[in-house]
Amino acid sequence: MPSPGIIYVGFHITDPAISQDLLNRWYYETHFPEIFAIPNGPQAGFRLKNENENESATFHNLTLVPLPDVALVDSPDFKNAKYTYDPLPKSHLELAEFDIRFYEKIQTFEGQIPKGGRIGKCVIAVAMDPAEGDEAEKDFDAWYRLQHLDMLSMVSGYRRSTRYKLKELPSYSAAKPGSVPKYLALHEYDSLNVPVEQIKLCLGTEWSKKVIAGSRSFSRDVWITIHEQGDEEVRL
């Protein structure tokens, strides 16, 4: 039985010879169509930019490519796929630093009234490693399933949440083994104006404080959707 997943790619340009617009053009005109041509492969891709435009942001760009089956990344069709770089002057891997991660989907939550549409205008990405031990991991999962997502669904503009577990990092990723949190949650919202006070209420419960304070790693980025491409029925 297929196990859906996602390709998560954070990146920033390292070569001043190219512009953001040129790299975007490569994505939209060349790279996405080549990815969609892989047999039994992805059929949609999304591009986002970091709300934080300062140098302090780990990455300024994000690409999300939903996988119908995460096992695809181990297949010959995927591993042997040939990617071109027109209109770039050379390979994209030489022009930017790419943090590439393969994740397996573990939960989709849409609240009491599911909404249409394939991606929110705003996506808040939260990556975490819970406290050490099996019991801590079970508590972390229960927190999401029994409290946190229900509370988030009451925030104005909430669309859906999708949770993932890290499968692997490819050898060509800038991220190194052990440096990336095991779990990722993508929370989608209809508006960029996510009510801060409502989010604080969700994080202010005793259970939330326990899970977050005990986590071994925690990162949070706010992403703005700038481009959608491919099958309109595909969601994160």
**CATH no. for 5-230:** 3.30.70.100
Tell me the helices (H) and strands (E) count for the chain, helix number first: 7, 8
Nearest-angstrom CA–CA distance, 48 and 22 = 15
DSSP letter, residue 152: H
Rg (CA), the chain: 18
Distance CA 66, CA 103 (A): 9
d(CA 103, CA 71): 10
**Which uninterrupted H or E stretch holds 164?**
strand 158-168
pTM (2 decimals)?
0.96
Rounded to a whole number, what is the distance in angstroms from the first to the last CA of the chain? 19
What confidence score (pLDDT) does residue 117 get? Answer: 85
Q: Which residue type occupies 122?
A: C
Taking the domains of the chain in order of start, what are their residue ranges? 5-230
d(CA 20, CA 48): 12
Question: CB of 118 within 8 A of CB of 231?
Answer: no
Task: Provide the residue-wise pLDDT of the chain in tens; the chain has 236 residues.
Answer: 899 999 999 999 999 999 999 999 999 999 999 999 999 999 999 999 999 988 767 899 999 999 999 999 999 999 999 999 999 999 999 999 999 999 999 999 998 888 888 899 999 999 999 999 999 999 999 999 999 999 999 999 999 999 999 999 988 888 888 889 999 999 999 999 999 999 999 999 999 999 999 999 999 999 999 999 999 999 99
- Could you list the beta-strand ranges (E) of 25-70: 44-50, 61-67
